[in-house]
């Protein structure tokens, strides 16, 4: 076995030796060539730290296994002045001061290597990924300042020429341009490209398989994005039952909610909703959302809503919206709503009448998803809309305005504990009101513990909260604590409502199963167990 040899390095005095020891060096080698390399490395390190005058005084062989190297390191020079060419883009020097007249900037000597690396990264982001920097003509100006010239070895600036999707070749091209904002014939910046591709994690219908790859040829730059299509269609339904306080009979209610996403590979969404509840009300909604029409940032949303209240009235609403998709999270829009309501009773009354209304609307939506969490896939949702128009019946025409808000947030305290809070409400501003134009709320998607759509108001607000605790990756339990306030100008009533209960959610192979048990009370009425509601729902993804 070859004998190891050792190296000991000292400076011109004890202080210099201490400084060398604090920097550190390798002291055991297999051959003398390793010792020579280590001495050169140390000399270069000393120069980077400002000991520009350092020299290797001598190397002495003390015995068969020990070599001693003697350095002269001199006085440390703390600052360096770096000169750059007149063609240099000084906008890259945005975080330090520089002399634009004499074309130089000063740095602490210990910061030089880190700063030049960052500067090189900025140059790469400007479309020159193969550029390199080095300092030449290094000299000592005085005891406190070194000067050097900045040499830039630059290649041809690169731009993104082509984008190729691998894995999910039918991925909608409009999402590349407007959602991720990846465009060809723009300066190539790999870090910015990676950030934009990470937005795929915020899409329901696609996900990133692996990191993007780039092919550089002499004349072009091609970006490869690896994507897979994910299951996003949802079917949701629930069965509710409770005891009728008048008949003491068990009554059932329920709904179906079908959402089809990206089945045509355009990123489109189709919603179909039907609900029949325990107080003889039926609701039917159909809605289509078509984003990025004609490869533009404009989307179209159209829908139809039909609501029937037993044999009292029937209301049909049609709406159309043009949405401008600002980026992956923000969306603004304008639209028009047209409503026709028919009184099904034999005679019109002051509070129930046939009418037609038209509104011009404005909308704003913000969505922050967390699709990595199948139990709670949306972290923050905010939706606000307002409408201005008029209602016309056989008596007169009435100017009206309407405002609605729906927002919720999941506060993730840690891996197991979180708090969910939701606020939704609406107000109709009018000089007079009809019963068939009022808002109807209450139930599992509003204030829990009350019958579905049993509460009638021209103004209402509901605060729903849950404390959620994960028992495992697919199971959680939660509390139910809801509060609401509403006003009804027709009955001259104002009331506060409360809902209490508990529930659980279980992620199964069939989908997300939820159970809620809740009981509601008004401000002046005590809880009754007979008024409690049990709601079951299953959201299946396919």
Which of 135-144, 187-196, 346-355, 395-404 has maximum average pLDDT?
A: 395-404
Hey, where are the domains in the chain? 5-72, 79-153, 162-229, 281-541
State whether CATH 3.40.50 applies to domain 5-72. Answer: no
Average pLDDT of the residues of the chain: 88
pLDDT band at 158, cuts 50/70/90?
confident
| Intra-chain end-to-end CA distance of the chain, in Å | 67
Nearest-Å Rg of the Cα atoms of the chain is 35
The Cα 443–Cα 513 span in angstroms is 17
* pLDDT of 156 strictly over 90: no
Q: Scan for tokens 């329901």, then name that residue.
A: 204
H or E stretch including 197?
helix 190-197
pLDDT band at 477, cuts 50/70/90?
very high
pLDDT band at 338, cuts 50/70/90?
very high
* Among 164, 217, 160, 216, CA closest to 186: 160
Q: Order across the sheet with 132-142: list the strands.
A: 104-108, 79-83, 145-153, 132-142
Q: What percent of the chain has pLDDT over 90?
A: 52
Mean pLDDT of 335-359: 89
The Cα 482–Cα 463 span in angstroms is 6
The residues with which 403 forms a beta bridge, in sequence order, are: 386, 427
pLDDT band at 245, cuts 50/70/90?
low
As given in the structure block, the two tokens for residue 248 are 């003491």
As given in the structure block, the two tokens for residue 29 are 């080698």
The Cα 268–Cα 175 span in angstroms is 11
H or E stretch including 29?
strand 28-29
The residues with which 306 forms a beta bridge, in sequence order, are: 284, 316
Q: Does 281-541 match 79-153 at the fold level? A: no
The third-level CATH classification (topology) of the domain covering 281-541 is Porin (2.40.160)
The Cα 407–Cα 78 span in angstroms is 56
What is the four-CA torsion angle of 514, 518, 523, 529, rounded to 10 degrees?
170
The Cα 60–Cα 245 span in angstroms is 103
Assess contact for 339 and 314: CB atoms under 8 A. no
pLDDT tens for 419-437 read 999 999 999 999 999 999 9
How many other CB atoms are found less than 10 A from the CB of residue 428? 20
As given in the structure block, the two tokens for residue 222 are 């091609």
* Among 190, 193, 199, CA closest to 171: 199
- pLDDT confidence of residue 151: 86
* Among 483, 437, 443, CA closest to 464: 483
* pLDDT of 1 strictly over 60: no
Assess contact for 292 and 178: CB atoms under 8 A. yes
- pLDDT confidence of residue 374: 84
Q: Cβ-count burial of 64 within 10 angstroms (0-12 exposed, 13-18 middle, 19+ buried)?
A: exposed
As given in the structure block, the two tokens for residue 167 are 């894995």
Class of domain 79-153: alpha beta
């Amino acid at each position: 076995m070859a004998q190891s040899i050792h190296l000991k390095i000292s400076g011109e005095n004890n202080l210099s030796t201490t400084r060398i020891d604090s920097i550190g060096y390798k002291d055991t080698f297999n051959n003398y060539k390793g010792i020579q390399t280590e001495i050169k490395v140390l000399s270069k390190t000393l120069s980077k730290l400002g000991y520009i005058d350092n020299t290797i005084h001598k190397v002495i062989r003390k015995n068969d296994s020990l070599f001693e190297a003697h350095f002269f390191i001199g006085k440390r020079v703390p600052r360096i002045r770096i000169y750059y060419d007149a063609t240099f883009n000084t906008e890259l020097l945005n975080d330090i001061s520089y002399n634009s007249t004499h074309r130089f900037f000063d740095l602490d000597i210990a910061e030089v290597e880190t700063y030049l690396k960052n500067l090189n990264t900025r140059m790469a982001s400007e479309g020159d990924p193969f550029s390199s920097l080095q300092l030449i003509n290094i000299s000592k100006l005085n005891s406190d300042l070194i000067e050097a010239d900045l040499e830039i070895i630059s290649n041809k600036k690169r731009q993104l020429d082509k984008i190729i999707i691998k894995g999910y070749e039918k991925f909608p091209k409009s999402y590349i341009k407007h959602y991720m904002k990846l465009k060809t014939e723009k300066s190539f910046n790999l870090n910015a490209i990676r950030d934009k591709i990470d937005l795929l994690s915020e899409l329901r219908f696609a996900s990133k398989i692996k990191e993007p790859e780039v092919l550089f040829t002499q004349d072009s730059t091609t970006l490869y994005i690896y994507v897979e299509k994910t299951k996003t269609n949802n079917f949701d339904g629930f069965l509710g039952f409770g005891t009728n306080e008048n008949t003491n009979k068990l009554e059932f209610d329920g709904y179906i909610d079908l959402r089809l996403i990206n089945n045509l590979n355009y990123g489109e969404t189709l919603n179909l909703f039907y609900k029949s509840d325990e107080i003889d009300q039926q609701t039917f909604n159909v809605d289509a959302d078509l984003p990025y029409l004609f490869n533009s940032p404009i989307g179209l949303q159209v829908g139809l809503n039909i609501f029937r209240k037993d044999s009292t009235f029937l209301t049909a609403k049609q709406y159309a919206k043009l949405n401008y998709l600002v980026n992956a999270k923000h969306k603004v829009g304008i639209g028009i709503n047209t409503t026709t309501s028919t009184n099904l009773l034999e005679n019109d009354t002051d509070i129930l009448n046939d009418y037609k209304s038209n509104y011009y609307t404005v909308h704003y939506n913000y969505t922050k998803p967390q699709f990595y969490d199948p139990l709670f896939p949306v972290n923050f949702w905010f939706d606000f809309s307002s409408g201005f128009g008029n209602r016309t019946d056989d008596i007169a025409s009435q100017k009206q305005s309407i405002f609605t808000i729906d927002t919720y947030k999941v506060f993730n305290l840690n891996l197991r504990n979180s708090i969910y809070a939701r606020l939704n409400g609406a107000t109709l501003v009018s000089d007079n009101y009809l019963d068939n134009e009022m808002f109807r709320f209450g139930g599992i998607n509003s204030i829990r513990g009350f019958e579905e759509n049993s509460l009638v108001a021209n103004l209402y607000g509901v605060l729903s909260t849950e404390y959620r605790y994960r028992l495992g990756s697919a199971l959680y339990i939660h509390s139910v604590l809801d509060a609401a306030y509403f006003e009804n100008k027709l009955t001259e009533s104002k009331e506060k409502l409360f809902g209490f209960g508990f529930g659980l959610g279980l992620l199964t192979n069939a989908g997300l199963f939820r159970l809620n048990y809740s009981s509601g009370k008004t401000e002046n009425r005590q809880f009754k167990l007979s008024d409690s509601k049990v709601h079951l729902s299953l959201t299946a993804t396919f």
